[in-house]
């Protein structure tokens, strides 16, 4: 879980070469942030595993592209403001990324030409499903569960923790501009989220199951 170093990638490659059924994933923050990106003594950047070097970040990206890593896992860990808005020494471990993982990775990697869109979708959906042999999860098929998320690949927004649907606000990506906002989510065929009309911030979703414009 949560591979974050080049040494981990090397160990996984050796294991797979020896025929071991070894799987691993990377979290969005270990694909996007290095220790040198920590701006100050800021508890919002405290996570476990911690942020590594820029070389380790590159190793995570390489590991996805060559198949060493099979999935991207958000490692979502919400905390109260008191637990995170403090120094590294006192802060709790963890960040939240569930509400903006796709947009962050789409903007940083797909639009930059490093990942293909189908690769990113695979690592977030049927990649983890295949690793745990969960059957045809993570795909759209006739008769399958309608667990769907729709993204507007042209919609640019600013990550605004104050507008998150969840109670956690502890993200190091606040105020970052991203493209690829989630505009609709369904669970088992029921509408649970529809984004408000475009504005400069990530919108607070509706969760009453009604089809709102």
Contacts of 44 (CB under 8 A, 6+ apart): 84, 85, 91, 95, 170, 171, 172, 174
- Higher per-residue confidence, 210 vs 172: 172
Higher-pLDDT residue of 152, 145: 152
- How confident is the model over 107-117, as pLDDT tens digits? 999 999 999 99
Q: Of 75, 90, 147, 160, which residue is the catalytic one?
A: 75
Residue 75: active-site member: yes
For the chain, give every domain's residue range: 6-194
Q: Is the pLDDT of residue 173 over 80?
A: yes
Q: For residue 143, is pLDDT > 90? A: no
Q: What is the pLDDT of residue 210?
A: 38
Q: What percent of the chain has pLDDT over 70?
A: 92
Cα distances (angstroms) measured from residue 191 to each of 50, 100, 178, 195? 36, 19, 24, 11
User: Among 3.40.309.10, 3.30.910.10, 3.50.50.60, 3.20.20.140, what is the CATH number of 6-194?
Assistant: 3.20.20.140
Helix 54-65 vs helix 117-124: crossing angle, to nearest 10: 90
* DSSP run (H or E) holding 116: none
Nearest Cα residue to 55 out of 4, 16, 97: 4
Is pLDDT of 202 > 70? no
Average pLDDT score over the chain: 90
pLDDT in tens, 113-141: 999 999 999 999 999 989 888 877 778 88
In this prediction, residue 47 carries a pLDDT of 96
| DSSP bridge pairs for 76 | 95
Q: Which tens digit of pLDDT belongs to each residue from 84-93?
A: 999 999 999 9
Per residue in 35-59, pLDDT tens? 999 999 999 999 999 999 999 999 9
**Could you tell me the pTM of the whole model?**
0.89
């Amino acid at each position: 879980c949560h591979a974050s170093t080049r040494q981990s990638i090397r160990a996984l490659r050796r294991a797979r070469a020896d025929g071991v059924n070894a799987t691993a994933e990377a979290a969005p923050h270990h694909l996007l942030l290095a220790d040198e990106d920590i701006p100050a003594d800021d508890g919002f950047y405290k996570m476990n595993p911690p942020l590594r070097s820029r070389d380790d970040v590159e190793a995570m990206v390489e590991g996805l592209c060559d198949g060493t890593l099979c999935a991207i896992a958000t490692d979502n860990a919400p905390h109260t403001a008191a637990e995170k808005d403090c120094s590294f020494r006192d802060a709790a471990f963890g960040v939240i990324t569930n509400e903006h993982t796709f947009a962050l990775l789409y903007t940083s990697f797909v639009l930059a030409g490093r990942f293909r869109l189908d690769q990113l979708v695979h690592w977030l959906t049927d990649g983890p499903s295949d690793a745990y042999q969960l059957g045809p999860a993570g795909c759209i098929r006739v008769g399958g569960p309608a667990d769907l998320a729709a993204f507007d690949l042209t919609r640019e927004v600013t990550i605004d923790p104050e507008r998150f649907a969840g109670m956690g606000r502890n993200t190091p990506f606040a105020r970052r501009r991203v493209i690829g906002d989630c505009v609709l989510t369904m669970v088992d065929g029921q509408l649970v989220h529809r984004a408000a009309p475009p504005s400069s911030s990530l919108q607070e979703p509706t969760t009453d199951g009604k089809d709102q414009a």
